[in-house]
Amino acid sequence: MKIMKKKLLIKDVANMVGVSTATISRFLNGKYQSMSESTRQKIASTIESIGYQPNNIARSLRSQESKTIAVIMADIFNPYSMDVLRGIEEYCSQEGYKIFICDAKNSGARERNYIEEMVNRGVDGFILNTTGENDLFVKGISLEHPVVLIGRKIKNSNISSVAADNAQGVKLALEHLLKTNCQRVSYLTPAPGNVSPRIERVDTFERFAALSAFSHISFECIKLAVVDREHVTKTLETLIASSSQNHTIITGNGLLSLYVVQAAKALNKRIPEDFSLIGFDETEWSEILKNPLTVVAQPTYDIGCTAAKKIITTLRKANESNETQIILLPFSLIVRETA
Amino acid sequence: MKIMKKKLLIKDVANMVGVSTATISRFLNGKYQSMSESTRQKIASTIESIGYQPNNIARSLRSQESKTIAVIMADIFNPYSMDVLRGIEEYCSQEGYKIFICDAKNSGARERNYIEEMVNRGVDGFILNTTGENDLFVKGISLEHPVVLIGRKIKNSNISSVAADNAQGVKLALEHLLKTNCQRVSYLTPAPGNVSPRIERVDTFERFAALSAFSHISFECIKLAVVDREHVTKTLETLIASSSQNHTIITGNGLLSLYVVQAAKALNKRIPEDFSLIGFDETEWSEILKNPLTVVAQPTYDIGCTAAKKIITTLRKANESNETQIILLPFSLIVRETA
DNA sequence: CTGAAAGCGCTTACAG
DNA sequence: CTGAAAGCGCTTACAG
């Protein structure tokens, strides 16, 4: 037996106060200058006492804004994504925005579906950690809706983006190696495809490899078409078989770091005794390894906050200047024991 | 320079096809029986070719349903929550529902705000991993909106819930210990407060402690008012100082497991040489420890799917029977090396 | 099988 | 400072 206390409407409030719905609406939207102090107070106390809350669906339909932002992540279950989301969520909720979180599961098709669905749900803007498979489509969307990209860029577009400074991150890792007696570096990365940070890092590695300061170190980039435990184990096995002394492996993300640590265990290799390891991205477990993991960490939480701030600022300035910005945030090196 | 291609409306489609908007609307809602085969086809091909997509805000306002479910988690950044969310997301998206994910950050006040906000945004139902601080309020909500609880229960209510079977989980852990020569068990848990699974586990521990089969083992429950690394380290230090032989610590969640492992490292204690450890909840890093962690794991993904299924079924059956269900899913024991 | 018309609950020019 | 009225983009009884 459901006791449906009838939902209160704006006209109920209007009747109780003895004014029109227009005035109540003005109150709800904070337009206090356009009403007398006394009506203002009457409305305030009435709403307070009966606990009226406006229907946001109706507000959105009429005002064409929903105070909602769609956040579409390429892969939400990556720890990187989680931390970024935390930043986005915190900033948005503090500014009165709600977020739709969508997981593209690394599929361009899913990503497109979500974007369309969110347009139809009237979100005010998008924060996109794009799969890299929808550059053209996303450019199109950005002409009609505010978009900020996180972690990934789209070439030849004027879409704002917030990301870690990959060139600086690679530099940080390599300069650290210069202080050791490292003679060989293998960078393990998922196949870059059209994913901008992966491309940037590989490019930076290759630039450094050509530098005379690094001439005593041999470089290689290993691009994994499939990232799972089995493939990483096989790769590591080959790598170690051919291993010279003072070999450092750099892993392109937290998942790869995890797989390498697992693979080393399976192959009975010790880190750093048998090879050194630097991971991109901080992980929950970095510190609890027998030898804690040395890591080059992104400011994930900041990336989230900054992206949220950028989109909300854009929304507020509406059709004003709204300049494109590429915001780069620095990595930090956390030296522990594996390198 | 924004090129706003004017958003297509239902009346545009109606004009193009040469029927009324009512007919288009019927098509959109799949009421094909109430139109001729030929209009149906004309509408289908027109919509397809111009790429019309209905405005969901308007649909929601009019039809009073939004195909949206609010998921409010006590603490989203708990790995447990993440896995449950994955299950919810997958089931919902497959059924055409979108979800709002909210993080109460373990605050009852935030939880209440989110619930109200979501009501005003017209969600069709709630999946709640409640903080335990809003039992009365949630009961009230459940009279007016479909609610399913996950992981946590509300006493004296007839709200459906999906959770792991805590009594069975504790049993699993303790029966495993019976096979070792364990003589002392310390169960580390966040202070139970009004959080049902914590209470259930403590109760079960105490029931078992009283059993003759366990009479050779001494039991204690340690309820932590604050859960952070520092407090756990202190607790562990005390615990170990007083330690008899064959001491097993059981941790009440993944975060506690992490802190205990870190604390052991800091205190220079080895697991399982100095004490054994069983963690509630599987973690990403269980396998990469020097001695991989023995764990009692919840079927998190299943919990999510099951909860999503329950709420969607309820929504579909509308005002039908809609029976209250308490669904208990089993833990599984993963024996590794720490116990 | 199809359409005219009312209405979902708000907001906002417009007029006073 | 305030209200009457139109309208956001759909859906749905009702009538035919």
Q: Which helix (H) or strand (E) holds A290?
A: none
CA–C1' B62–C9 (A): 9
Residue B89 at interface with chain A, using a CB cutoff of 8 Å: yes
What is the residue-averaged pLDDT of chain A? 91
CB atoms within 10 A of CB A69: 26
* Mean pLDDT confidence for A18-34: 95
Q: Give which of A281, A204, A203, A277 is closest to A236, Cα–Cα.
A: A277
Fold classification of B166-297 is Rossmann fold (3.40.50)
| pLDDT single digits (tens) B41-99 | 999 999 999 999 999 999 999 999 999 999 999 998 788 898 899 999 999 999 989 99
Average pLDDT over residues A20-34: 95
Chain B positions in Cβ-Cβ contact with residue A56 (cut-off 8 Å): 117, 120-122
Q: What are phi and psi of A20, to 5 degrees?
A: -85, 165
Distance of alpha carbon A254 from alpha carbon A295, whole angstroms: 9
Domain B10-54, CATH? 1.10.260.40
- What does the alpha-carbon distance between residue B336 and residue A221 come to, in Å, rounded to a whole number? 35
Summarised one tens digit per residue, pLDDT across range B192-244 is 998 999 999 999 999 998 888 888 888 999 999 999 999 999 999 999 888 66
CATH architecture of residue range(s) A66-164+301-329: 3-Layer(aba) Sandwich (3.40)
The answer to whether B276 touches B270, Cβ cutoff 8 Å, is no
CA distances from A241 to A230, A234, A247 (A): 17, 11, 12
B66-164+301-330 under CATH 3.40.50.1100, yes or no: no
Q: Does A3 touch chain B (CB under 8 A)?
A: yes
> Which region holds residue B232: left if phi is over 0, alpha if psi is between -120 and 50, else beta?
alpha
Mean pLDDT of B160-182: 93
- Domain ranges for chain A, please list them: 10-54, 66-164+301-329, 166-298
Please tell me the number of Cα atoms within 13 Å of B122 on its side-chain side: 22
3-state SS, residue B184: strand
DSSP calls for A30-55 = T-GGGS-HHHHHHHHHHHHHHT----
Residue to mutate among A60, A257, A293, with most B CBs inside 10 A, is A60
**Is B66-164+301-330 in the same CATH topology as B10-54?**
no
Mean pLDDT of A150-162: 92
Domain A166-298: assigned CATH number = 3.40.50.2300
- The residue among B339 and B321 whose pLDDT is bigger is B339
What residues approach strand D to within 7 A at the CB? A 18-23, 26, 33-39, 58, 61-62, 64; B 7-11, 21-22, 24-26, 28-29, 54-55, 58-59, 61-63
Mean pLDDT for all residues in chain B: 91
pTM: 0.88
Q: What are φ and ψ of residue B215, in 5° steps?
A: -65, -20
